[in-house]
Amino acid sequence: MASRVVLQRLRAFHPETATASTLRKLSHPGRSLLTLSRHQYSVSAPLKQMDSSQMATSSWIGHRGAAGVDLRSDTMTTPTAEMLEAIQKCTLNDDVFVEDKTTMELEAHVAALAGKEAGLLVLSGTMGNQLALRSLLTQPPYSVVCDHRSHIVKYEAGGKFSVSSLTGAMTLPVVPSNGVHLTLEDIAKHAVVDDDVHSCPTRVISLENTLNGTILPLEEVKKISAFAKKHDIKLHCDGARLWEAVASGAGSLTEYCSHFDTISLCFSKGLGAPIGSLLVGDAATIKHARWVRKSIGGGLRQSGVVAAPARVAVDVTFGKGPNGEGGLLRTSHETTKKVAKLWSDLGGKFVYPVHTNMCWLDLKAAGCAESHFAELGREFGLKMLGGRLVIHYQIAQNEAEVLPRLEKIFQRVLRSPRERSHASREESPSNMYRTAK
């Protein structure tokens, strides 16, 4: 029965390979799905053979699947056959008992890349941030200073409420004066560092890097870190996309992480793993975070199935060393520059500067509503959510298909008065995570 289901899927995606002989091979004892995926699945089949409804259900085929035309987020990256193979070979022991070799090796490896004593595998970046704050905030009253656009206060299940519900902390969101990233001057104006009992003392500064695809420069991090140490304030980094800053050449992972007490690093965004993040820090903090993880239901049993593809994602997509040597992320930045040039050459403007793998197109200046832009994407076979285009590495691998389509969309938006007249009558959604209609 399972073989017939697989054959039906093959017929949907690749009719030229889905034959009766394929079914016989599937039925043969010892014949693995992985073997089939490599030799019978025709991964190299042209993208145009699959329409959007079929691609939405495809899996384990990398950039030839749904991710290859999905610019809504780098969370849309799909796992690769190499990740599936790693799952088949991983250890299957209990991580709550700290017994799983695959998991412990991943934690040690990423901690070493970051120059930290220990690491802890968690289910998501949200969980990593929450464990870090809960572990760093030990004695109330306390407040957390952060960028007003940061995930911990805007996009993680209620933001300020979720921070306060787990930690009891007050959040102090700050608007960066330069419009791009926080500076020491911004933080110094808002952090509470005195003993006035009328105020809530700042005990943690949380920085996000990258944020909206823009880089918080290493030199600014150094200044903020020195300020934090001077006032006995802990420093946390939401580094879900810190890999991108490193890949851009802004600094090594070790250099960035050396200035933070804790860093949450995500595997399931640009790196392309199906699930997971890792929290790194000193041994004592990570030990406490492990306790908190268990208390909120994050303890994993056979965690190797999560850790194994994450290790492949780190080694292959990010790279083998702290500078991302040999990784695939740099290719996404090169493609992002090409996308930005297509837009700017037609007179398009940007909401934020293009630093890494995101292009924030100023659709308002172009007179185009976000909903209409998404409609144009569907017309040309691309998935887009407003003016934020996220160019992950599987888009880069498929740029020969994607760039010509984007160019046609950009021409429609920036050169067609009829398109602008139609689109400008619509109101654009403000939440970047709002589902496109």
Handedness of CA 287, 291, 292, 296 (dihedral sign): positive
Residues of the chain predicted below pLDDT 70: 1-64, 156-162, 164-165, 417-437
Q: How far apart are CA 434 and CA 191, in angstroms?
A: 32
Strands 388-390 and 202-208: unpaired
**What integer pLDDT is reported at residue 344 of this predicted model?**
98
Query: pLDDT tens across 90-133, in order?
Result: 999 999 999 999 999 999 999 999 999 999 999 999 999 999 99
Residue 394: name the closest of 27, 49, 59 by CA: 59
**What integer pLDDT is reported at residue 213 of this predicted model?**
96
What CATH number is given for 45-72+342-437 in this structure?
A: 3.90.1150
DSSP state of 266: E
Q: How far apart are CA 428 and CA 3, in angstroms?
A: 46
Q: How far apart are CA 372 and CA 428, in angstroms?
A: 9
C-alpha 54: how far from its chain's center? 24
Of the chain, the end-to-end C-alpha distance in Å amounts to: 36
Residue 67: name the closest of 274, 366, 319, 236 by CA: 274
Residue 35 tokens, joined: 């073997």
Check: CB of residue 256 under 8 Å from CB of residue 246. yes
Query: pLDDT tens across 151-187, in order?
Result: 888 876 665 666 766 777 889 999 999 999 999 999 9
pTM of the complete model:
0.83
Q: Where in the chain is the domain with CATH 3.40.640.10?
A: 89-318
Q: 270 forms bridges with which residues in the sheet?
A: none
Q: Which residue has the tokens 């903020």?
A: 224
Q: How far apart are CA 236 and CA 133, in angstroms?
A: 8
Q: How far apart are CA 236 and CA 255, in angstroms?
A: 14
Check: CB of residue 286 under 8 Å from CB of residue 107. no
What CATH number is given for 89-318 in this structure?
A: 3.40.640.10
Q: How far apart are CA 67 and CA 323, in angstroms?
A: 25
Residue 85 tokens, joined: 């193979």
Burial class (CB in 10 A: 0-12, 13-18, 19+), 115: middle
Q: Where in the chain is the domain with CATH 3.90.1150?
A: 45-72+342-437
